[in-house]
Chains A and B, each alone.
Chain A
Amino acid sequence: GENVEQHPSTLSVQEGDSAVIKCTYSDSASNYFPWYKQELGKRPQLIIDIRSNVGEKKDQRIAVTLNKTAKHFSLHITETQPEDSAVYFCAASNAGNQFYFGTGTSLTVIP
Chain B
Amino acid sequence: GAVVSQHPSRVICKSGTSVKIECRSLDFQATTMFWYRQFPKKSLMLMATSNEGSKATYEQGVEKDKFLINHASLTLSTLTVTSAHPEDSSFYICSARDRSRGGEKLFFGSGTQLSVL
* Chain A interface residues toward B at CB < 8 A: 6, 32, 34, 36, 42-46, 49, 51, 87, 89, 91, 93, 95-104, 106
A-side binding surface: helix, strand, loop or mixed?
A: strand
Q: Which residues of B contact A (CB under 8 A)?
A: 1, 32, 34, 36, 41-44, 46, 49, 93, 95, 97, 99, 103-111
Give the contacting residue for B43; candidates A42, A43, A51, A101; CB below 8 A: A101
Given contact pairs A36-B108, A96-B99, a sample of 19 additional A-B residue pairs in the complex whose CB atoms are under 8 Å apart: A42-B110, A45-B108, A46-B105, A46-B106, A49-B104, A91-B106, A96-B32, A96-B103, A96-B104, A98-B34, A99-B34, A99-B46, A99-B95, A99-B106, A101-B44, A103-B42, A103-B43, A104-B41, A104-B43
B-side contacts of A95, CB under 8 Å: 104
Are A34 and B105 CB-contacts (below 8 A) given A96-B97, A99-B34? yes
Smallest CB gap from A34: residue in B: B106
Whether the pair A46, B43 counts as a contact (CB closer than 8 A) is no
Asked if B104 and A44 sit within 8 Å, CB to CB, the answer is no
A34 to B109, CA, bound (A): 17
Q: Which of B41, B46, B103, B107 contacts A100 (CB 8 A)?
A: B46
Min C-beta distance of A87 to chain B, whole Å: 8
Closest 4 CB pairs of A and B: A96-B104, A43-B108, A32-B104, A101-B44
B111-A43 in contact (CB<8A): yes
- CB proximity of B7 to chain A, nearest CB, Å: 13
Complex CA–CA separation, A84 to B44 (angstroms):
20
